[in-house]
Structure 1
Amino acid sequence: MLLILYSKPGCHLCEGLQEKLEQILANPESECKFELEVRDITTQEDWFKAYEYDIPVLCRQRDYQCGEEPLPRASPRISPQQLDMMLRKYL
């Protein structure tokens, strides 16, 4: 499963969520298995228009034939363990 994180440089919320996702990936005890792709919304006009006021946005893509599906917004205060449990519902 591919997780796509829409973010932009200098966004502390984006950086925090990315760090937590990377901690989950690095944890061998985590049951969440996913690939993470970080997309900078400032590099594509359509991404910028779609997510300018909403970042960070986390989407899942089951395969390349299916479109992206936004996941519920995680609180900036969520711990990596809580985020891991939340992701298990969607992965």
Structure 2
Amino acid sequence: MDLILYSKPGCHLCEGLEEKLRSLTDPPLTLEVRDIRTNDAWLLAYELEIPVLCRVTASGQEQPLPRLSPRSGADQIAQMLQKYNKAP
């Protein structure tokens, strides 16, 4: 599963989510972290929303995933990802 995390340095919520995602092995995933400050479009879209997690679909499109509670554990995140890993 390919994921994109829109983030920025110093964001504790972003760092926490990234740490949890990197600890997961099931489903296997590839995580690309994008600093929203490096792209004006990302900054406009996500400045007040980060962290934003998207999956890359089989057709290469980004699909935003539901916003996760900062209290979500790695096991809860893995369950959510399993659900979306089966989606087209």
If the length of structure 2 is used for normalisation, what is the TM-score?
0.91
Q: Which runs of 4+ in 1 moved over 6 A?
A: none
Q: State the partner residue of 1:13.
A: 13
Instruction: Give 2:38's aligned residue.
Output: 43
- CA–CA distance in structure 1, aligned partners of residues 84 and 44 of structure 2: 26
Gaps of 5+ in 2: none
RMSD of the TM alignment (CA)?
Answer: 1.1
DSSP 3-state at the match of 2:77: helix
Shift of 1:82: 1.1
Using structure 1 for the length normalisation, give the TM-score.
Answer: 0.88
Please list, as runs of the form range in 1=range in 2, the aligned pairs for 1:40-79 lying within 5 A after superposition.
40-63=35-58, 65-79=59-73
| Aligned-pair CA distance for 1:74 | 0.7
Secondary structure of the equivalent of 2:82?
A: helix
**Number of residue equivalences:** 85
